[in-house]
Amino acid sequence: MEELKLKVDKKSMLLYIVTDRSWLGEDSFIIQVEETIQNGATFIQLREKEMGFDEFVKEAKEVKVLTDKYKIPFVINDNIEVALACGADGVHVGQSDMAVKDVRSQIGKDKILGVSAQTVEQAILAEKNGADYLGVGAVFSTSTKPDADAVTFETLKTICESVSIPVVAIGGISEKNILELKGTGISGVAVISAIFSKPDIVKATRRMHELSGKTVLL
């Protein structure tokens, strides 16, 4: 298992960006993604729930050019076929998507596998079955996933203590509440609206990167 755990450096999890095109302004989607990378994003997850396969793969390949250029990890949300077709570094799956063991067998041992977890039991099992990192939340209420189950800070802390792989907190995290996560043991934060809903993405990314550094003890 050690070789799998080494695929994701904890430092690369500091500011984990999940894309969302619903707030697209004047700039193109790809320009927005590059702006986040240039200003502090350390990991990119491409999330497209409504896009067809061919269009998804095309966009994913464009994002991969950027992540390769800046040498940061890049995973696809939920869609293993797209992840393999575009050559992404890996895939992130939820609890209801597919068994972690099955995902690992499909993507192979060299790809990054991220798994969502809401409980200590889910977290331990995900690591045992081949997860390289965990996304834990929602730690705050979120408009992106209004039906997401809440995860208490105590549970988040216990999860971090129970696994040896990096843990990223997700769900409603903003510059106003991020410092509340200090001391939980997380390796980073995953954000969506904290970046993409802002009129100035550059400024928002820089601010969240700064605050992430104060929240996470590397």
Segment 9-50, tens digit of pLDDT = 899 999 999 999 888 776 799 999 999 999 999 999 999 999
* Residue 27 confidence (pLDDT): 75
Residue type for 171, please?
G
Residue indicated by tokens 């409603």: 172
Mean pLDDT confidence for 69-92: 98
DSSP bridge pairs for 75:
45, 90
Output the average pLDDT for the chain: 93
H helices within 108-164, ranges in order?
A: 120-128, 153-162
User: 2-215 architecture in CATH?
Assistant: Alpha-Beta Barrel (3.20)
Q: What is the pLDDT of residue 187?
A: 97
pLDDT surpasses 60 at 152: yes
Tell me if the pTM is above 0.75: yes
Q: Residues with catalytic annotation?
A: 47, 116, 145
